[in-house]
């Protein structure tokens, strides 16, 4: 089996006759898209803040849910709270997540977020060791990571680029946090968001960003002398520093 193990992931299995309708009323994307392959989505608080992001994968008479392991227990508790009388069963799957670039093996699907992220495969095979610099790809393509750029109960998904990453559907109808997300889309201009910066020297992730001495954002994943950051748009044009190092706005959008 080709492909490397996507470490730090947990794959749940959601079964029961009401599984699709149950998820459809909760998550940010349209479950009808499962007919074409995996769907990237998130669960939000009623106030529209991010709780967890995940891949939903059609698998016969069940749906696989591929989530960062540090978010899995909280997500399970939240799903159980919403389940009520629905015919839905949630448990483990015993599956691993493999990923890679280039030709995809049988059963694999293209990552629905961005073609540059290659393919994903949900399988019992253990996979190989990490060989690809995924952080470099994420920085180049402005793709946030669970628990890093995506912070539970803090991040708003539109500020993190979920629309560009095909993680939210504005025509599907109601879901938890939908009203706030729709209002941010249609009635307000985003005041901050995920950007890529160039650094004059290495700076540690988590370092605050200043613009003329004013708090402007936070530096996150770094690859070489480029990094992802959450940044206030109104301060992006000024002189930016982090721990005394000069920063320069590199992109608001991914490389073509």
Question: Is the pLDDT at 253 greater than 80, yes or no?
Answer: no
Secondary structure (3-state) at 32: helix
Query: Model-level pTM?
Result: 0.95
Please determine, for residue 214, whether its predicted confidence score (pLDDT) is greater than 90. Answer: yes
CATH topology of domain 191-251: Elongation Factor Tu (Ef-tu); domain 3 (2.40.30)
5-48 confidence digits (pLDDT tens):
999 999 999 999 999 999 999 999 999 999 999 999 999 999 99
All residues at 6 or more sequence positions from 186 whose CB lies less than 8 Å from its CB, including other chains: none
Can you name the CATH fold of 4-184?
Gyrase A; domain 2 (3.30.1360)
Annotated domain spans of the chain = 4-184, 191-251
The sheet carrying 4-5 orders its strands as: 4-5, 96-100, 119-123, 109-110
The predicted structure's pLDDT at residue 187 = 77
40: alpha, beta or left, given left = phi > 0 and alpha = psi -120 to 50? beta
Angle at 138 between CA 93 and CA 208, to 5 degrees: 110
Report pLDDT for 134.
Answer: 97
Question: Smallest Cα–Cα separation from 68: which of 149, 160, 141?
Answer: 149
**Per-residue pLDDT band at 101 (split at 50, 70, 90):** very high
Separation CA 8–CA 70 (nearest Å): 8
C-alpha to C-alpha distance for 172 and 187, rounded to whole angstroms? 19
pLDDT, residue 209, reads 98
Looking at the chain, the whole-number percentage of residues with pLDDT higher than 70 is: 99
Contacts of 169 (CB under 8 A, 6+ apart): 28, 29, 30, 33
């Amino acid at each position: 089996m080709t492909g490397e193990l996507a470490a730090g992931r947990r794959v749940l299995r959601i079964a029961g006759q009401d599984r699709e309708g149950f998820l459809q009323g909760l998550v940010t994307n349209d479950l009808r898209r499962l007919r074409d392959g995996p769907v990237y989505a998130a669960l939000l608080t009623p106030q529209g803040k991010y709780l967890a992001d995940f891949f939903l994968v059609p698998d016969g008479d069940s749906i696989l849910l591929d989530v960062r392991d540090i978010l899995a227990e909280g997500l399970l508790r939240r799903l159980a709270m919403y389940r009520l009388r629905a015919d839905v069963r949630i448990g483990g799957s015993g599956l691993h997540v493999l990923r890679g670039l280039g030709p995809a093996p049988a059963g694999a699907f293209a990552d629905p977020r961005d073609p540059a992220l290659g393919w994903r495969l949900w399988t019992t095979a253990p996979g190989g060791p990490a060989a690809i610099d995924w952080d470099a790809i994420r920085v180049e393509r402005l793709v946030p990571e669970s628990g890093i750029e995506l912070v539970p109960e803090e991040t708003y998904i539109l500020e993190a680029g979920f629309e560009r990453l095909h993680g939210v559907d504005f025509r599907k109808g109601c879901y938890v946090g939908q009203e706030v997300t729709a209002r941010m889309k249609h009635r307000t201009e985003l005041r901050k968001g995920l950007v890529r910066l160039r650094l004059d020297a290495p700076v540690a992730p988590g370092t605050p960003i200043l613009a003329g001495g004013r708090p402007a954002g936070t530096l996150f994943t770094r690859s070489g002398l480029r990094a992802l950051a959450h940044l206030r748009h109104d301060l992006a044009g000024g002189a930016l520093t982090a721990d005394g190092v000069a920063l320069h706005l590199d992109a608001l959008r991914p490389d073509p």
